[in-house]
């Protein structure tokens, strides 16, 4: 597919993350207006709620301050709205005069959480990351647990602390135990980290007690966001046995403001990697389920002007697709809901500069990273701003997600 031309000239820039090919969905407000659904086109935000109120769009729940009601309408409504927007925004459209009053400069709007998160599940489905972390703690011979090559491992996280890009993150406090200490202590995390992930947004529910196929799971996914699974490694090291992460990851998860639809990503589908162990039939994919999405992370220390890119990788590094993760999640009869969010797990490539966490990039803090201004980082310090970037590169166009950014604030005082 090539660039689809729009009468909005900035959408025709080959480096714009928001061409007509994209049309991601989000929630915005403008100068104090009530939040409602929107899409991005070039350097503009199109007020879908306003267009619905004006009778230009069917009643699809677009006046709501979250995408959930629209997602509930199902794939036919999703594709129908996309086709309608192509007609409104395409080059030569006779509707330009009707649409123009509902366009706002992107730098004048405030973006909000795009949907109400029903549940949040985070997976551990990147092989390079799992091998690296396992090697640090158990050695390369036992890096992957026995089940890892057979099922996408995950844990249930906290929906209540999923926040939109731009939200400051408070350094968590909790219990840690130094290797030479007899007892744990309580205080701010000293080994604060990121995890570069993609998030799958579930747009259709499943029924309790009924498993789903991988093809059905793929059709249930409304779209994808960038996702930063903030992690307190020292809290995690003390608490994770025997039940896995708890407070070390419950304090915050950041997502990008735009949900990019499956339809926009369709040209970028890629297969999952060859299997080292044959998967059970219920996890067999009916076609390519990953996407060719370039990803990177930058770190900007407090008071500095120039960020350092600390990681570059690609979503195709995942061992399990989001559809496989969703299928396994529902396989026991677990009911999935509209607004469920599935984190992919850390997306690390095979080389050090492609590792998706500071834990890997500094190998547990032993090998500090040097910033462009000469500072060093083993883990995240107060005032640091971490930003996830991502786009799929097409023929003369790209599909972007908007940045996923968070700045670390000091831990609260605690008696």
What's phi and psi for 299, nearest 5 deg?
-125, 125
Model confidence at 335, pLDDT cuts 50, 70, 90, reads: very high
Active-site residue flag, 129:
yes
The yes-or-no verdict on residue 3 having pLDDT over 90 is yes
The yes-or-no verdict on residue 415 having pLDDT over 80 is no
pLDDT mean over 129-138? 94
- Taking CA 380 as the corner, what is the angle to CA 377 and CA 383, rounded to the nearest 5 degrees? 110
Query: Which tokens in the block code for residue 336?
Result: 């999935």
What's phi and psi for 147, nearest 5 deg?
-85, -10
Instruction: Return the residue matching tokens 């607004």.
Output: 339
Q: Determine what percent of the chain is predicted with pLDDT higher than 90.
A: 97
pLDDT mean over 107-120? 98
The yes-or-no verdict on residue 149 having pLDDT over 70 is yes
Query: Which tokens in the block code for residue 362?
Result: 């500094």
Collect all residues with Cβ–Cβ distance below 8 Å to 275 and sequence separation of at least 6: 149
The yes-or-no verdict on residue 29 having pLDDT over 70 is yes
| Cβ-contact 294, 354 below 8 angstroms | no
* Number of residues in the chain: 415
Mean pLDDT of the chain: 97
Q: How far apart are CA 415 and CA 412, in angstroms?
A: 10
pLDDT at 39: 98
| Cβ-contact 376, 308 below 8 angstroms | no
pLDDT mean over 75-104? 98
Spot the catalytic one: 30, 102, 112, 129: 129
Model confidence at 1, pLDDT cuts 50, 70, 90, reads: confident
The yes-or-no verdict on residue 126 having pLDDT over 70 is yes
Q: How far apart are CA 76 and CA 172, in angstroms?
A: 43
pLDDT at 404: 98
The yes-or-no verdict on residue 49 having pLDDT over 70 is yes
- Mean pLDDT lowest among 28-37, 133-142, 190-199, 252-261: 133-142
**pLDDT (tens digit per residue) in 261-280:** 999 999 999 999 999 999 99
| Cβ-contact 272, 285 below 8 angstroms | yes
In three-state form (DSSP H/G/I as H, E/B as E, the rest C), the secondary structure along 160-176 is HHEEECCCCEECCEEEE
pLDDT at 414: 73
The yes-or-no verdict on residue 110 having pLDDT over 90 is yes
Instruction: Return the residue matching tokens 């104090």.
Output: 32
pLDDT at 378: 98
| Burial per residue of 266-290, b for 16 or more beta-carbon CB atoms within 10 angstroms, e otherwise | ebbebebeeeeeebeeebebeeebb
Q: Model pTM?
A: 0.97
CA 63 from chain centre, in angstroms, equals 24
pLDDT at 278: 96
Alpha helices in 110-159 (DSSP H): 127-138
Instruction: Return the residue matching tokens 């910033």.
Output: 371
pLDDT at 137: 86
CA 327 from chain centre, in angstroms, equals 19
| Cβ-contact 120, 156 below 8 angstroms | yes
pLDDT at 238: 94
pLDDT mean over 318-343? 98
According to DSSP, residue 2 is labeled B
pLDDT mean over 169-192? 95
């Amino acid at each position: 597919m090539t660039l689809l031309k729009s009468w909005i000239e900035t959408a025709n820039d080959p480096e714009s993350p928001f061409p007509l090919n994209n049309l991601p969905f989000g929630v915005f407000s403008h100068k104090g207006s009530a939040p409602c659904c929107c899409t991005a086109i070039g350097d503009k935000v199109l007020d879908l709620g306003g267009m619905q109120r004006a009778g230009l769009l069917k009643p699809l729940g677009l006046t709501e301050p979250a995408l959930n009601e629209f997602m509930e309408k199902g794939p036919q409504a999703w594709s129908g709205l996309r086709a309608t927007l192509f007609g409104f925004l395409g080059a030569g459209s006779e509707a330009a005069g009707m649409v123009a009053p509902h366009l706002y400069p992107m730098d004048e709007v405030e973006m909000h959480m795009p949907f109400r998160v029903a549940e949040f599940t985070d997976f551990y489905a990147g092989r390079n990351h799992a091998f690296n972390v396992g090697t640090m703690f158990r050695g390369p011979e036992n890096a992957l647990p026995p089940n890892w090559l057979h099922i996408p491992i995950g844990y249930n996280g906290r929906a209540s602390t999923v926040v939109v890009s731009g939200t400051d993150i408070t350094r968590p406090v909790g219990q840690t135990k130094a290797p030479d200490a007899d007892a744990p202590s309580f205080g701010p995390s000293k080994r604060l980290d990121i995890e570069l992930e993609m998030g799958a947004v579930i747009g259709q529910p499943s029924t309790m007690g009924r498993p789903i196929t991988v093809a059905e799971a793929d059709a249930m996914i409304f779209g994808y966001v960038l996702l930063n699974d903030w992690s307190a490694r020292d809290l995690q090291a003390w608490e994770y046995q025997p039940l896995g992460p708890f407070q070390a990851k419950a304090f915050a998860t950041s997502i990008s403001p735009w949900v990019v639809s499956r339809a926009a990503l369709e040209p970028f589908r890629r297969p999952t990697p060859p299997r080292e162990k044959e998967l059970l039939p219920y996890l067999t994919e009916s076609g390519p389920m990953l996407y060719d999405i370039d990803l990177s992370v930058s770190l900007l220390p407090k008071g500095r002007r120039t960020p350092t890119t600390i990681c570059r990788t690609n979503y195709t590094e995942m061992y399990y697709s989001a559809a496989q993760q969703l299928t396994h999640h529902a396989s026991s009869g677990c009911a999935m809901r509209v607004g469920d969010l599935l984190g992919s797990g850390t997306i690390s490539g095979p080389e050090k500069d492609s590792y998706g966490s500071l834990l890997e990039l500094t190998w547990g803090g032993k090998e500090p990273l040097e910033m462009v201004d000469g500072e060093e980082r083993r883990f995240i310090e107060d005032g640091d701003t971490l930003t996830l970037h991502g786009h799929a590169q097409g023929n003369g166009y790209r599909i972007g997600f908007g940045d996923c950014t968070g700045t670390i604030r000091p831990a609260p005082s605690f008696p």
